[in-house]
Amino acid sequence: MKTAISIPDDLFNDAERLVARFKTSRSELYSRAIAEFVARHDDEAVTRALDEVAHNINADPSDTQMTSASAFAVLRQVEW
């Protein structure tokens, strides 16, 4: 899908430098940036990720120590 957006000149110039550095297209850069932003702000995705971790280690949900340890392990991998 095509879309048009307005961004400040300095942000555009920063993005152009990344396009050159990563040898990618503007579309790819902006798509990746938006996908990352959406993922960081999607509370349901975090819950699904934690549920998946618990499922993969066959954790008993009543075992709060295991649940806390699993959640901590996942959260350490998330860029804040």
Pair (27, 47) in one structural domain: no
**Per the domain annotation, does 2 fall within a domain?**
no
Per-residue pLDDT tens for 15-71? 999 999 999 999 999 999 999 898 888 888 778 887 888 777 765 656 667 667 777
Tens digit of each residue's pLDDT (9 = 90 or more) over 6-15: 999 999 999 9
Is there a domain that residue 23 lies in?
yes
pTM of the model: 0.55
pLDDT for the residue 6? 96
**The two three-digit tokens of residue 73, written as one number:** 């392990």
Does residue 3 form part of some domain? no
At residue 80, the pLDDT reads 60
User: What is the residue range of 69's domain?
Assistant: 43-76
The 3-state DSSP class for residue 28 equals helix
Place of tokens 């961004």: 7
Domain count, the chain: 2
Assess contact for 30 and 15: CB atoms under 8 A. Answer: yes
Residues 35 and 58 in one domain: no
